[in-house]
Amino acid sequence: MARPVIISCAVTGAGDSLRQNPNVPVTPEQIATECIAAARAGAAIVHIHVRDPATGKPSMALEHYREVVERIRASDTPVLINLTTGAGARFNSSEADPKVGDAGTTLATPEKRVEHVLTLKPDICSLDVATMNWPGNAFVNTPRTLERMAELIRSSGVKPELEVFDLGHVRHARDMVERGLIIGKPLFQLCLGVPWGAPASTEAMVIMKNDLPPGALWASFGIARHQFPMVAQAVVLGGHVRVGLEDNLYLAQGVLAPGNAALVERAVDIIEAIGERPASVDEARAILELA
């Protein structure tokens, strides 16, 4: 029988992508509308960042998360909600004093980074088990920060999605699982092609997949032009998939995606062409062992 493959859609992200594709949602209403459209196209999970409606820049404002979540929950379209906790981890060191953050630094306490999760109780939230360089800044998640965030997330009853960008991150996350900081069947997201992490390649996906804890659930994605090839590769290797405007702005070379639904529809086509099928929301809930 065909295997149910969970499609997650990351609808907006935090990058400066609006200038490249005007279809990237910005306001809470736009983000919620895109989430609902993605769910109707076949996504069982929507992964949500929020932005400042006036500027389009990344935001951590609870009121924006609240509006997005309430709009989705008030709709007639079921979907699992996954809120990011990645905001609040960027660091740019000052030239005058490297210990001091310069412009662009967003470092926040663990409590602030999970405030919206504790308040809104989504089905899932991301937990970036990663410290790494990105173009222009560092993405900093110290062990102490991650352990505190994991503790708070666990207390809320929300399932963490362990985002890992390289093999060392897999091993760190695996250690957290083995020490009981993550309870239940762990869920990993293998994030590929992000500078300067693991490349979006078959080899990278296989080696990271093979180092997961026994029985772990996993999904993967590639950014930009690697989005759809990595959908196919993850399905073939037995994983689940993620698409969306956070990771890729194009439907094909030179063709901007008109919205997230079009990217989800392409993922559905790939999954079905391989002989599997998209998971329903109820199937995804059962696979992820959500209450």
Note the pTM of the prediction, 2 decimals. 0.96
Q: Which domain holds residue 141?
A: 4-287
Task: Encode the chain (291 residues) as per-residue pLDDT tens digits.
Answer: 899 999 999 999 998 899 999 999 999 999 999 999 999 999 999 999 999 999 999 999 999 999 999 999 999 999 999 999 999 999 999 888 888 888 889 999 999 999 999 999 999 999 999 999 988 889 999 999 999 999 999 999 999 999 999 999 999 999 999 999 999 999 999 999 999 999 999 999 999 999 999 999 999 999 999 999 999 999 999 999 999 999 999 999 999 999 999 999 999 999 999 999 999 999 999 999 997
Return the structure tokens found at 276: 């599997």
Number of domains forming the structure of the chain = 1
CATH of the domain at 239: 3.20.20.70
Give the pLDDT confidence score for residue 181 in this predicted structure.
Answer: 97
- 8 bridge partner residues: 45, 242
